[in-house]
Amino acid sequence: MAEEPRRKRKKSNAAVWAVLALLILALGGFGIGGFGGSVQNVAEVGDREITVQDYANAVRAEQTRLQQQTGQNLTFQQMQAFGLDQQIMERLLARAALGHEADRLGVSVTDAEIARRIRATQAFQGVDGSFDREGYRFALQNAGFDERSYEAQVRDDAAREILQAAIVGGTEAPDAYTDRLAAWIAETRDVTLATVTEEDLPGGLEDPTEADLEAFYDAHPETFETPERRAITYAWVTPDLLAAEIEPDEETLRQLYEDRADEFRQPPRVLAERLAFPDEDAAQGARDAIAAGETDFDALVADRGLTLEEVDQGELARDDLDPAVGDALFGIDEPGVVGPVETPLGPALYRVNAILDATEVPFEDVRDDLAYAFGMDSARRRIDAAREDIEDRLAGGATLEELGAETDMVTGSLEWDPSISEAIAGYEEFREAATQAQVDDFPEVTSLSDGGLFALRLDEVIPPAVPPLDDIREEVAEAWRAETLRLRLSERAETLAADPTPDVVTAPESLTGIARDATVEGVPPAVIQRIFEAEPGEIFAAGGDDGRAFVVRLDAVNAADLAEGEAAELRQAVRQQTESEIQSDLFGAYARAIELEAGFSVDAQALAAVQSQLGG
C-alpha cells in the first residue's frame, strides 16, 4: 500500500516518440545488420512478423532505458535473470497483435499526421528547433532505416495508439473503491506510549549463574557456532609494500614536476556557457533583448528547449579557443554576456560566470606526492618484471615460504572466512581464489587490482564448530543478558498493560497524527503496525529492541478529510493508479485475445540464436 501511485496514462504519443528518438540515436553504434542469416523472424502474430532485428532492437532499447534510470549497464544475462527478456517478447507480441488488429479494422492516419509527428520529434530538429531534413536522413541512415520503412513504422505506431485509446478510453475507478482505499491509507492515530527499560524491573537484572550460562550455551549452539574457515598460507607483494623502499633523487622529482606541469600550473580561465543561433541577426537580436532587459540568458536557453547543463562549456583557457572567441571571453573585466561570436556551430552568445586567475602549485607543496607516485610506479614496474621469475620458481617446486625468503614477496597465513576483510583478505581477487581453492591445489600467481601479485595454498578446511564454553564465556554471558533482559522487559510491559496504575521511570508521551507509514524515533515499525491493529481505548504491550519494551494506549482514530489538502491529493493519486492498473489489465487482456484469435508462434531456435549473440 505504500507504493507511490502511478500516473494515469496519457493518450498522446509523447512517451513513444521519446523512446524512439533515444533508440534511433543508440542504434547507430550497434550495427543493425549484425543479425543476418537465413532465419529472419523470431515470432509471428497473424500476418505480422517480429523479426530477429526487431527483438534485438527492443533489447538494446530496454538496456538503454535501464541505464538511464539506474546508472547500471545490465548485460543480457542479467536481464534474463530478472525475466526482462520474457517481458520484452510479451510487449513485442502485444504490439504485433495490435498492428494485426488495426489492419483488420482499417485503422490508419493521414500522411499529414505522419509528417507532423516526424517534424515534432526532437531528434530530427536542428539547433534552431526546426525540422532538419538532412539530420533526419542521417539519423535514419545511422539506425539502419530508410525513410519509407521508418515512416511506415510511424504509421503503425499511430494506428496502434488510436486503437489503444479506443480500448481503454473512458475507464474510471469506482468511487467506493477509491474512497475506501484512500481513507484507509490516510487514517492517523493518537496514542500514549510508555517506554519500559531495565530501571522498571523490580530488583533489576541479576548476573547469570554458572548454571544459567551452561543452560543458555546448551540451548543456543547456533548462536556461538563459528563459520567454516579455511587455513591459508599466502605469499604476496604490492606496490605499497615496495614503494617505501624507493626514494627518488631531487632531480628526478623536479623533472616529474615539469612533466606534469599542466596539473600544477593553470593559465587564466573562465567558466562559461554557450548558446548558438542560426544566423547573425538572431544572435544580435537576442543580445539586444538582454541589454534592454526584455529577457535574460536563462530564458533564452529555456525557450530553445535546452538546459543549462547542455550549454555549459566548463573551464576554458584562451589557448583552447579560436582567437575571436578567446578575445571576446578574455576581453571583459567581470562576468557577463558577450557576443555574438562566430563559432563552428554558428553565431553564439557566451555567458561568462566566473573569471579565474592563473594559479601555480609550488614544487615543495607536492614533493611528497610526487615521491609517492614515483615510488608506486617504480614498484609496479618492479613487480611486473619479477612475475616471470616468481612463476618459474613455483613451476620448479619452490614453496610459498621460499618465495617469501628469496623474492620481494611476503609470506603470511590466516584462518579465513568471508567475514574477514583485513590486509590481503580485503582484495576481491584473494577472496575469490580463497573460496575456490582446494587442498593440494598447485599455487598460482594471480594479479591484484593495485598491480600486486599473490599466490596461496589451502592447508586445511576447518568445519563449523561451537567453541568450548570456557573460551567464549564473556560472549555467552552477554548473549544471556540480552535475551533475559528482552524477556523480562516484555513480561513487565504485559504486567503494566494489564494493570496500568504503576508508574514507569520514563514519563509516558503522547504521539498524535501517526500515519501508517510513519517513522517514529525509538519506536520499531512492528509497534506502529500493532497500533493500527488496535481498537480505540485498548492498552497493549509491545516488545522493542535495545533494552526497551512499550506499553501503548490507543487514544483516538482520526479519519482523513478526503475533500481537501494532502488527503485529497492522495485520493486523486489512488484514483489515477487504480485507473492505470485497470487500463493495463484491460489492454493486456485485449492484446492476448487478439493473439489467440489471430494465432501466434515463437521460433524458439531463432530466439535462442539472437539471445546467444546478445549475450556474447
pLDDT tens, position by position, 391-400: 999 999 999 9
pLDDT over 60 at 616, yes or no: no
**573-581 mean pLDDT:** 89
pLDDT at 38: 54
pLDDT over 50 at 16, yes or no: no
Residue 576 CA to residue 87 CA, distance in Å, equals 24
Instruction: Report yes or no: 433 and 453 within 8 Å, Cβ to Cβ.
Output: no
> 488-502, pLDDT tens digit by residue?
999 999 999 988 766
Residues 6+ apart with CB under 8 A from 462: 228, 229, 230, 231, 415
pLDDT at 51: 85
Taking residue 232's Cβ as centre, other Cβ atoms within 10 Å add up to 22
pLDDT at 25: 39
Q: Which range has the worst mean pLDDT, 18-27, 211-220, 279-288, 310-319?
A: 18-27
Residues 6+ apart with CB under 8 A from 443: 235, 394, 400, 455, 456, 457
pLDDT at 19: 38
> 133-156, pLDDT tens digit by residue?
888 888 887 766 778 888 888 888
Helix, strand, or coil here: 447? strand
**Among candidate residues 232, 331, 189, the one with its CA nearest the CA of residue 272:** 331
pLDDT at 248: 78
Coarse DSSP helix, strand, coil percentages of the chain, rounded to the nearest 5 percent? 50, 20, 30
What is the Rg, in whole angstroms, of the alpha carbon atoms belonging to the chain? Answer: 35
Residue 521 CA to residue 320 CA, distance in Å, equals 55
pLDDT at 8: 35
User: How far are the Cα atoms of 420, 453, 550 from residue 437, in angstroms, in the given order?
Assistant: 17, 17, 50
> 593-612, pLDDT tens digit by residue?
888 888 888 888 888 888 88
Residue 273 CA to residue 337 CA, distance in Å, equals 9
Q: Angle at Cα 288 formed by Cα 282 and Cα 293, nearest 5°?
A: 130
Mean pLDDT for all residues in the chain: 84
Cα end-to-end distance, the chain, whole Å: 41
Q: Give burial (CB, 10 Å; 0-12/13-18/19+) of 20.
A: buried
Q: Give burial (CB, 10 Å; 0-12/13-18/19+) of 380.
A: middle
pLDDT over 80 at 291, yes or no: yes
**115-132 mean pLDDT:** 82
What cell numbers appear for 120 in the block?
515534432
Instruction: Report yes or no: 355 and 335 within 8 Å, Cβ to Cβ.
Output: yes
Burial 436-458 (b: 16+ CB within 10 A, else e): ebeeeeebebbebeebbbbbbbb
**245-262 mean pLDDT:** 77
Residue 371 CA to residue 244 CA, distance in Å, equals 10
pLDDT over 80 at 31, yes or no: no
pLDDT over 60 at 27, yes or no: no
Q: Given pLDDT bands bounded at 50, 70 and 90, which one contains residue 102?
A: confident
pLDDT at 323: 85
pLDDT over 80 at 193, yes or no: yes
Choose from 117-126, 291-300, 322-331, 453-462 the range with maximum mean pLDDT: 453-462
